[in-house]
Structures are given as structure tokens and as C-alpha cells.
């Protein structure tokens, strides 16, 4: 079983392209694993509790439950538009989740891993945390970023993080695959150093925060984000589920192969808190998931005249440059957006969002290269052999080379996809398609069609072209599933929809295949000036 998760998004605003990227990346990986024949469980969802939701709802004059429902709809709608095919949907207000969270809290409390302590200090409402002197400006005031700050004398519950840090340190040292890509490991090691000796505050008094899950052993408190949101990875996988529950079978799913997260939540929340929580709950070293850490989409800068210029800026509401994924899909289509989001970023690194590149990549790689190949191949098959591929004994060096290139492509594709390096895998497929276009020029089937003595060669060339399109449609399926389906419909080869990667070899289309009338699968995007 290949179980993968994404971060669950905070329901305090509409999804933007960064949210969309993570979910598409996970979707591509999930679909790739299915193509490999794995059983896959893809879990994503939303984090609905917390002070900011409570406050925003109040401002809107609705109760938090209503507010959260509305914002959640925005997410599910966006994911539908992007064609995400997830198996589980995590909502932290779900009663099943609450039950699981409370069960875990009660047990850890009974085991003495959670204790109560008084703390006096200054509290930032906006950031939902206590501040220390190190957050003060030189003149003793707190910086603006903390918002309203008030003095508090509070009792709270703490999780004995310090009991597990020693174990975590060893675990991280001895497990090279814990953090992907590897260069992120240093951040984790540093963060562990800093975390040593401190425990984790896991509660908020109810008079401050009502919108959360009650502590089972003290109803004056709700649990803070950690023992709520992070638990979703196991609660919705069926951990400690009740008899007759619809949740999946936990033993089948756990451990997750990867938690897909952004670089902003690697430390301390996932690498330290969550991993120590798992250890405290009782999971062993081989039941700890790896963390796949992706980068961010920044926004490409443009000159005033729209010309390309170096540099980028962060996406932010104040700069007014937030990119709405739903609007993008409405304008350019699901395939263009999905393709761009995993093609133009190297997993783990940052990239700059640029609409011109989105359009450019779609037009050059999908429309011109693959779409046009599909179109010309089917068109000539229709025109020169009645739309049916015909057996032929003709063979030559270029045909052999094209067939041989498939092995190179498959090797490269698998190697990169297995490491979640989608952009490099796509590069390999594009090379293959481009090679097929070159192959067509080498043989010029539109010329040899006029020469009756070359019918055998013509048939071989057409077979090779159609076959290459079929192969590409399978390899690209994880990224652009709906377009690939349309290609396969034109090829009249629905059986390709269920073929596995291991069964992919030259000749997946039978001789005598009757293809349909071609229709552009990727209409070129024309930008209005």
C-alpha cells in the first residue's frame, strides 16, 4: 500500500496556487503509483479549527461551523476543477477525528506524557503564542507583526516533547530518507538542537478559544493545533477507529510512505512535533513516514511593458499578486495548469510563477509537440490507410532507434518519478515525442504515400508514429489524466486506461487498430495582447 498525505490547508481564506501545487504534486505521485500497480491511498483535507477561524467568522457575523463550511467548499471546488483524485478527505471538525484525538490525549495524559503548568507572560493574539523578551524591540515594545499583545497568567497543558528529542536525534541521524530532498536535513538537525529541553504547549483555555477539540481530561481547555491538525494523518487513516466505522483499515495504510509538506512547515511542526508525537503514541522506527518537502511558487517580476526581467517576489495579498488556481483552470484548462505546476518547478526548490511560461510550455510541449504529433499521425493513418494500422515487414535503422529510445525514456521516467522529480521525468517524455517528430521528417510519409512501391515503409512509419502517441499517453497520464484519456479515445484504445507501467513496451497497440478521426487534444492558447 502506498499511503500519501498532503498538509491540510487552513480554512481562513481561498486556496491559492501554492495550495494547488502541493495537491497536484500529490495527485501526480498518487496516479504514478497506481500506474505502477500499487494500491494507493491519497489523503488530503482542511484544518478547520483555531483562533483565526473563530475571529474571522465573528467578523462575518456567522458561527465558525458555517464559516468553515463555506471556505471548505472553496477548497473542494478547486480540487475538483484540478481533477484531483484523492481517496480520503480530512476535516478536523469531523466527529470521528475528534474521537481519535481525544482518545490519544487521554492515553498520553494517563501515561504522564501530558502535564499542567502555569505560565505568565505576554501573548500575541494574532500569532496565537506567548512571546518572550527576545521578541521585543530595543525599546521594549513588541513588533507590529505580533498584532495585539496582552499580558496573561495562564495554566496550560504541555506535552513532554523533551522525553523524545534524544530518540528523534538518533532517528534522524540514522535514516537518510527521513527528509527528501536530503539538503533539508540540516534544517532539521539544527531545529532539534534548539528544541532540546523544552516541552510543547498543547492547549488553550476555553475562554480564549472555543473553536477546537475539548481536552477529555479537562473541559476548560481545547487542544491547540498540534494535537488536532497533525493527528489527521492517522485519524483519517483509521487509527483506533470504532467498530463499523467507514474509515480505512489502519494496519493496511500505516506507515504513510510520504507526508508531502511545504518547506515552511518542516521545522518545527512536522520533523519535530509530529515525529515525536508518533513516537510518544507508540510507533516504532519503521513506522515513521518520510517527509517530502516542496518549495514555493513566487511571482515572476515583469517590466512595465511586460518584457521578461530577472527576479521574483513573494505572493501576498498586500502586493495584490495572489494567483487563483480556479481562475487559471477556467482560463487555460486543467491540463495546462496541472502540467505547468509540476513541469516548471524542480521538486524541493522554489520557482517563479509566470503566466507566459504556463502558456509557452503548454503550447510548445503539449500543443505543438505532442498534440500535433497525434493529429498528424492519425490524419495520415486516416488518409493513407483508411484509418487502420496495417502489418508491415519493413524495418530500418531509424525505426529501430525509435523503438530502442523507449527503453531510455522508461528508465529515465521511472528513475525520476520514483524520486518524485516530476519535471525531469516529463523532460524524458518530451524528448521521446520530439524524437518521433524527427522520425516522421526522416521518412516523410506524406511523400512515400505517393509511391506505390513504398507502401510497406509507409505502414511501418505510421504504425510507429501512432504507437509512440499511445505510449506517451500512458506516461503522461499521472500529470494530465483527462487529456490522455482524450488521446486514447481518439486512438480507440480504451484498454490503455488500465495498462500498468511494467507492461509498457513497444506494441501496446495491436496491428489492425482502427483509429478515430483526429481532433486537436491541446488547442493552442492564444494570448490576447
Partner RNA sequence: GGCAGGAUAGCUCAGGGGUAGAGCGGAGGAUUCAUAAGCCUUAGGUCCGGAGUUCAAAUCUCCGUCCUGCUACCA
Q: CB under 7 A: which stretch of 81-89, 311-319, 388-396, 497-505 binds RNA?
A: 311-319
Q: Of residues 311, 320, 386, 512, which one binds RNA by CB under 7 A? A: 311
Considering the complex, what minimum distance in angstroms separates the CB of residue 373 from RNA? 7
- The SS3 of residue 38 is coil
Residue 360 touching RNA (CB under 7 A): yes
Considering the complex, what minimum distance in angstroms separates the CB of residue 360 from RNA? 4
Considering the complex, what minimum distance in angstroms separates the CB of residue 427 from RNA? 8
φ, ψ dihedrals at 378, nearest 5°: -70, -40
CA distances from 315 to 193, 232, 319, 321, 351 (A): 31, 28, 7, 6, 12
Cα-trace Rg, the chain? 27
Q: Of residues 61, 310, 453, 512, which one binds RNA by CB under 7 A? A: 310
Q: Of residues 210, 383, 415, 505, which one binds RNA by CB under 7 A? A: 383
- Per-residue x/- marks for RNA, 247-276, CB under 7 A? ----------------xx--xx--------
Residue 314 touching RNA (CB under 7 A): yes
- Per-residue x/- marks for RNA, 91-130, CB under 7 A? ----------------------------------------
Q: Of residues 165, 367, 402, 470, which one binds RNA by CB under 7 A? A: 367
Contact 3, 237 (CB under 8 A): yes
308-317 contacts at long range (C-beta below 8 A, 24 or more positions apart)? 308/356, 312/352, 315/16, 315/17, 315/18, 315/353
DSSP 254: P
Residue 181, preceding bond cis, omega within 30 degrees?
yes
* Residue position matching grid coordinates 493574539: 125
Q: Of residues 94, 331, 372, 455, which one binds RNA by CB under 7 A? A: 372
Q: Interface residues for RNA in 191-230 (CB under 7 A)? A: 191, 194
Residue 144 touching RNA (CB under 7 A): no
Q: With respect to RNA, which residue has the nearer C-beta, 280 or 380?
A: 380
Q: Which cell is 460 given?
A: 511501418
Beta-carbon contacts of residue 457 (< 8 Å; ≥ 6 apart):
392, 394, 396, 443, 448
Residue 401 touching RNA (CB under 7 A): no
Sign of the CA dihedral 82, 87, 90, 95? positive
216-223 contacts at long range (C-beta below 8 A, 24 or more positions apart)? 216/102, 216/103, 216/105, 216/106, 216/109, 217/105, 217/106, 217/109, 218/116, 218/157, 221/156, 221/157, 222/49, 223/101, 223/105
Considering the complex, what minimum distance in angstroms separates the CB of residue 382 from RNA? 8
Q: With respect to RNA, which residue has the nearer C-beta, 309 or 388?
A: 309
Residue 392 touching RNA (CB under 7 A): no
Residue 133 touching RNA (CB under 7 A): yes
Q: Interface residues for RNA in 427-446 (CB under 7 A)? A: 434, 437-438, 440-441, 445-446
Q: CB under 7 A: which stretch of 132-140, 169-177, 400-408, 412-420 binds RNA?
A: 132-140
Considering the complex, what minimum distance in angstroms separates the CB of residue 451 from RNA? 13
Q: Which of 523, 401, 407 is nearest to 471 (CA)?
A: 407
Residues belonging to the chain: 529
Residue 302 touching RNA (CB under 7 A): no
Considering the complex, what minimum distance in angstroms separates the CB of residue 406 from RNA? 17
Q: Which helix (H) or strand (E) holds 91?
A: strand 88-91
Residue 444 CA to residue 458 CA, distance in Å, equals 9
Residue 349 CA to residue 5 CA, distance in Å, equals 19
Binding site for RNA (CB under 7 A): 132-134, 183-184, 186-187, 190-191, 194, 263-264, 267-268, 300, 308-312, 314, 344, 346, 349-352, 354, 357, 360, 363-365, 367-372, 374-376, 379-380, 383, 434, 437-438, 440-441, 445-447, 520-524
Amino acid at each position: 500500500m502506498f499511503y500519501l498525505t498532503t498538509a491540510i490547508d487552513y480554512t481562513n481564506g481561498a486556496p491559492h496556487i501554492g495550495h494547488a501545487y502541493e495537491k497536484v504534486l500529490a495527485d501526480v505521485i498518487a496516479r504514478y503509483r497506481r500506474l505502477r500497480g500499487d494500491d494507493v491511498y491519497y489523503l488530503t483535507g482542511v484544518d478547520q479549527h483555531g483562533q483565526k477561524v473563530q475571529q474571522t467568522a465573528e467578523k462575518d457575523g456567522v458561527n465558525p461551523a458555517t464559516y468553515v463550511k463555506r471556505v471548505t467548499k472553496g477548497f473542494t471546488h478547486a480540487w475538483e476543477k484540478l481533477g484531483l483524485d484523492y481517496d480520503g478527505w480530512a476535516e478536523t471538525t469531523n466527529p470521528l477525528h475528534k474521537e481519535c484525538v481525544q482518545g490519544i490525549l487521554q492515553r498520553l495524559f494517563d501515561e504522564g506524557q501530558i502535564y499542567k503548568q502555569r505560565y505568565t507572560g505576554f501573548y500575541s493574539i494574532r500569532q496565537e503564542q506567548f512571546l518572550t523578551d527576545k521578541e521585543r524591540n530595543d525599546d521594549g515594545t513588541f513588533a507590529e507583526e505580533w498584532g495585539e499583545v496582552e499580558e496573561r497568567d495562564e495554566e496550560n497543558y504541555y506535552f513532554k516533547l523533551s522525553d523524545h528529542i534524544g530518540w528523534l536525534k538518533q532517528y534522524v541521524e540514522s535514516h537518510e530518507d527521513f527528509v527528501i530532498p536530503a539538503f533539508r536535513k540540516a534544517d532539521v538537525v539544527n531545529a532539534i538542537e534548539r528544541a532540546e529541553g523544552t516541552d510543547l504547549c498543547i492547549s488553550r483555555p476555553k475562554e480564549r478559544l472555543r473553536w477546537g477539540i475539548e481536552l477529555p481530561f479537562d473541559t476548560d481547555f481545547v487542544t491547540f493545533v498540534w494535537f488536532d491538525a497533525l493527528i489527521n494523518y492517522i485519524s483519517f487513516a483509521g487509527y483506533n477507529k470504532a467498530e463499523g466505522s467507514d474509515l480505512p483499515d489502519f494496519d493496511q495504510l500505516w506507515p504513510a510512505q510520504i507526508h508531502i509538506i511545504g518547506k515552511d512547515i518542516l521545522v518545527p511542526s512536522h520533523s519535530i512535533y509530529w515525529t515525536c508525537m508518533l513516537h510518544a503514541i507508540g510507533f516504532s522506527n519503521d513506522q515513521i513516514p518520510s517527509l517530502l518537502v516542496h518549495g514555493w511558487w513566487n511571482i515572476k517580476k515583469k517590466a512595465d511593458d511586460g518584457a521578461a526581467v530577472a527576479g521574483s517576489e513573494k505572493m501576498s495579498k498586500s502586493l495584490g499578486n495572489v494567483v487563483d488556481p480556479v481562475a487559471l483552470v477556467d482560463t487555460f484548462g486543467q491540463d495546462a495548469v496541472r502540467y505547468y505546476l509540476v513541469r516548471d518547478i524542480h521538486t524541493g526548490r522554489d520557482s517563479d510563477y509566470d503566466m507566459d511560461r504556463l502558456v509557452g510550455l503548454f503550447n510548445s510541449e503539449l500543443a505543438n509537440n505532442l498534440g500535433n504529433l497525434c493529429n498528424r499521425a492519425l490524419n495520415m493513418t486516416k488518409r493513407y490507410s483508411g484509418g487502420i494500422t496495417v502489418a508491415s515487414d519493413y524495418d530500418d535503422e531509424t525505426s529501430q532507434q525509435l523503438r530502442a529510445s523507449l527503453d531510455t525514456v522508461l528508465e529515465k521516467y521511472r528513475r525520476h518519478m520514483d524520486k518524485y522529480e516530476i519535471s525531469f521525468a516529463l523532460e524524458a517524455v518530451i524528448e521521446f515525442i520530439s524524437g518521433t517528430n524527427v522520425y516522421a521528417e526522416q521518412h516523410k510519409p506524406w511523400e512515400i504515400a505517393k509511391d506505390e512501391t513504398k507502401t510497406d515503409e509507409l505502414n511501418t512509419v505510421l504504425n510507429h508514429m501512432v504507437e509512440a502517441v499511445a505510449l506517451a499517453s500512458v506516461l503522461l497520464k499521472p500529470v494530465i489524466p483527462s487529456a490522455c484519456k482524450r488521446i486514447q479515445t481518439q486512438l480507440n484504445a480504451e484498454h490503455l486506461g488500465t495498462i500498468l507501467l511494467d507492461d509498457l513496451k513497444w506494441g501496446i497497440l495491436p496491428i489492425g487498430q482502427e483509429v478515430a478521426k483526429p481532433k486537436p487534444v491541446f488547442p493552442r492558447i492564444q494570448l490576447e495582447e
